[in-house]
Every structure is written in C-alpha cells, then in structure tokens.
Amino acid sequence: MSGTQTLFIWSVKADSRSVHPHIVRAAFAGFMLLAMIGAWGTSLSGFAPGLQFFRYICGLNVVIISVAGISYFVSAVTEEKDAGTLALLRLAGASPLSIILSKSTSRLIGSLMLLLIQMPFTFLAITLGGVTWLQVVAAYLALAAYLCLVANMALFCSVRCSTSGRAASLATAVLALFFLGGPVLREASLLKGVPWLTPRIQRACAELYDQQQMLNISVRLEQLFSTMTGVRLVTSQFWSSLLIAGVFFGLSVILFNRYAAPEQTGNEGLSAGMRRLSLGRCWKLAITWKDFHFATGGKTFFTTKLLAYFTLIAALAWFHQLESPGASVWLSPDLTRLAFLLIAVAFTIEILLFASNSLFQEVRQTAIPQLKMLPLNTITIMLQKVIACMIALMPAVIALASLYVYDRMAVSAVGRYDLPLIRNQANDPTGAIIGWLIFVGVCTHVTVLLSLYVRWAALPLAVFLTVIAYPCIGAAAIALLEITGRTAAVNGISVGVRIGVVINLFWLWLFVLLPIEVELVNRWNRLSQESAN
C-alpha cells in the first residue's frame, strides 16, 4: 500500500499546491453568497425563495458534475497515457489498484470538497423558507452519489481509451445515452401500432425506464423538492449509484492491464489512397485545413453528423406519422420544437467542445512555437481556427436552417399551423436567441482562454464562470433591448428590436469579448515565449 499512499499523497499535495482549485472553490463560495443575497432581496417582496434558490443550486451542481465527468475525470489515467508516463509508473511497481486509487480518488475528493463548501450557504437557504435541513442534506447525498457514479464511469472510460479525447467522447456518449434514454424508453413502452414493438419488448422498455428513473439524479431532486414531509435521507438512487460506481471501479481495476499498453502507432488505419481521398490536399488556409481534419473530425465526422441530425428529424417525422396517421404536416409543432431544441443543444455542445479543444490541442502538442514561427500573425492563426470550427459546425446549421425553412413552409401551407418557433407571440424567441448568443459568445471565449491556462476542465470552469456572469450580462442585455425597443416604438421606428439586438451584440463584444480576445492573444504569445525557457 505504500505505493498507493505515496501516489495518493502526491496527487493531493499537487492539487492543494495548485492555486486553480482553490480559486474555483472560492469563486463558487462567492457565487453562493451572491445568490443568497439575491434570494434575500427577493424574500423582502413577500416570497419564500429558499426552495427556488436551492433548486437552482442543485441544478447547477448537476450540470457541473456532468461536465466535469466528460472533461476532468476522464483524464485521470489518460493524462498519464498522453504523457507516456504510465509505463514508468508500472515499472516503478505501482499496481493497477494503486494507480487508479491515487489518480481518481484525489479528483473525487477535490470535487466533493466543492460540494462540501456549499453546505453552510445552503443551510442559510432554510431561513429563507421553503426548504428544510433534511431536504438539503438529502439533496447533497444524492449529488455526492451522482458524483461518484459519474467519476467512476469517467474513470472506466479513462482506463478503456488510449487518449483523453477518446475517453471524453465515450463518457459524453454514455451520459447522453443515460439522460436521453429515459424519454426514449418511455415513448417506446407506450407506443402503439408498431409491429416489431411486441408487448414483451415494451414491458422490458418500461422496466428499464423505471430503473433509469430510479437512478436519475434529476428525478430524485424533483422528488425532494416536491414535498417537505416524509423526506428520506437516502433512497435507492443513492445506493444504486454507489453500486454502479463500484462496478465501474472494479472493471477499471480488472481491465487496467489489458488497456494500459501504449497506443499502437504506425501505418495502421486508412490506406494512403483512402486517406488522401478523405483528407484531400491542404487548403490555402493551411491551419483551417489542419484543424478541420485533425481537431474537429474532418469530412467523416462532418458527414456522420449531417446524417445523424437528419436521421433524428426523420425519426421524429416517422413518430409523428405513427401517432397521427392522417396528419397534414410531417412534423407537429411540438416535435418541430423538440427537434430544433435537440439540434440546438447538440450545436451548443459542439461549439463548446471545439472551443475547449482548438487551442488546447496546440498546447498539449507543444506546437505553439511552430505556429508562431509561421509568417502569420496570431490573429490570422486564430481566425483560421475559427473558420475550421465554423465549417465543422455546418451540419447543425444546415439541420437548423432546414427546420426553420420547413416551419415557414408549414405556416404558409397550413394557415392555423401554430409553430412555437417563430409564430407564437406568447413565446417570443427573440429574447431566447439573444440569451443564447450571449451565453455561447461568453462561454466560448472563456473556454478558449481557460484552455490556455488549465490542463483540463477548461469547459466546466468556463460553464461555471459563464453561469455566474450570465445574470449580470443577460439582465443588462435584456434591459438594453427593452429600452431600445420602447424608445424606438415611441419614436415610430419599426426596427427598434433589431437595433437593440445590434447594440446589445456590439456592447457585448466591446466590453466583454474584446478584452478576453486581447488576453487570448497575449496568453498565446506568452506561451510561445515560455516554451523557450
């Protein structure tokens, strides 16, 4: 056990010496305090905002844990594989259990610390009303169990995959399958008129759905928030999560040696001809070509995404036809909105993943001096990288544009077609679109900047910081939009909202994004110099 102890202590020491985790924890505590003050302000107007505040905090924790799972925990073992130091650890006599315990436990403890520091603040929420201490403790136990589940699932991905990128992809797929699997299973269990969905299969789907609901952290939190009486500290969600986490951990230990061998390199993979066909010749914008093919997946991934998005739309259309055989439109308004939202979410995730990976890949491969030596200035390099990401995002854009065009056609074809995307006045999408633009704009910039500072976890940190900053920026944006719109209406200017949008985007760029961009360029230049030392 001495090896395990040494590695574990080393990991904990490294974590405690590093200033970044402490900054994150302090920032989170500060954010909690601000949220508490905000909630207290709300309570002055007669409401009891404790529950609402606590619900918000718990939702934020779920998001952060999930994002940390696909970015921070997945690198527990793969960071050693990426650096080529795993073999050294094994040569030093460290057993798989030692390595896994030391590498994963320190991260798990660090994350549990993040939950722990919230506890005193959330207890203050009790005084605001609407939530009891038992609910608070039960919610944090559920979150801790979910954290263990995600951390060990990510650990398994880290053991199984040869690189951090692949591990992150696998973990993302598992989490997506878990959360999206519930609704799909429920629909499958209720669907009628499909020949191959026999009652037996539907029963199995229903049982699986029940299991998924039992394990689902969102369901457990909703249960906790829905009642103040009869709250149980631990439920089957807690024990099931720990059990599955244990299974993942055991699998990681058992399979460690099998997948610890370094990645086989050489000429395997596509033949030269196929590779040339897939990659093509280097474009005039060389960095765009490189990033498109080697950072965002290239033509293969581009085609796969395009097919996936249109398969989703086709599946929903098929589903709509099953439910309403004589329907005059391919997609009902609800399903159109669902398809739009799903693709928009995928689009947003893609943007954020590209943002976290684009420059970080250069840092990881220590390629910044090489790029710096090119007769291109830093801004040109950055712009070429942005163009590569934009090309890779085209499948989602095409799918979203197709849905929009379909919506317009449906509106013109069917007079009373009430599509919430555009025509529903009660649910005006302008604010949502502006809000989304602000979120994505700020979050991508912060992610890119953080990817030049931290080894991993730039994305969850950026999401966290953006969520903190969002109320300030978003409120200012919405207020400015409202002022501009009303002023324009008073003066008879019909394009008032559009002017407001333009002004919003301009000030967002000038006061928020531009300083980040300047710091980004400076940091890039500093990194190219630091590599000289």
> Which residues contribute to the site for other proteins (CB under 8 A)?
263, 265-267, 269, 272, 275, 279, 281-284, 286-287, 289-290, 294, 365-367, 369-370, 372-377, 528-529, 531-533
Asked if 463 and 60 touch (Cβ cutoff 8 Å), the reply is no
- Which residue, 371 or 476, is less far from other proteins as judged by CB? 371
Half-sphere exposure of 289 (CA within 13 A, CB side): 9
Alpha helices (H) in 216-367, listed in sequence order: 217-226, 236-259, 272-279, 286-294, 298-323, 333-364
Q: What separation in angstroms does the CA of 287 have from each of 382, 440, 522, 527?
A: 9, 23, 20, 18
Exposed/middle/buried for residue 48 (C-beta within 10 Å: 0-12, 13-18, 19+): middle
From CA 172, how far away is CA 67, in angstroms rounded?
Answer: 9
From CA 240, how far away is CA 420, in angstroms rounded?
Answer: 39
- Which residue, 93 or 269, is less far from other proteins as judged by CB? 269
Shortest Å, Cβ 302 to other proteins: 17
Cβ count near 70 (within 10 Å):
26
- Which residue, 230 or 269, is less far from other proteins as judged by CB? 269
- Which residue, 486 or 526, is less far from other proteins as judged by CB? 526
- Which residue, 80 or 362, is less far from other proteins as judged by CB? 362
Shortest Å, Cβ 152 to other proteins: 29
Shortest Å, Cβ 376 to other proteins: 7
Shortest Å, Cβ 261 to other proteins: 15
- Which residue, 177 or 282, is less far from other proteins as judged by CB? 282
Shortest Å, Cβ 72 to other proteins: 24
Closest-CA residue to 294 (of 423, 165, 421): 165
Q: What separation in angstroms does the CA of 179 have from each of 54, 55, 173, 183, 219?
A: 22, 19, 10, 8, 11
- Which residue, 173 or 282, is less far from other proteins as judged by CB? 282
From CA 13, how far away is CA 6, in angstroms rounded?
Answer: 10
* Residue written as token pair 């501009």: 484
Cβ count near 486 (within 10 Å):
12
Shortest Å, Cβ 286 to other proteins: 4
Phi/psi of residue 272, nearest 5 degrees: -60, -40
Shortest Å, Cβ 202 to other proteins: 45
Shortest Å, Cβ 299 to other proteins: 14
From CA 478, how far away is CA 473, in angstroms rounded?
Answer: 9
- Which residue, 273 or 415, is less far from other proteins as judged by CB? 273
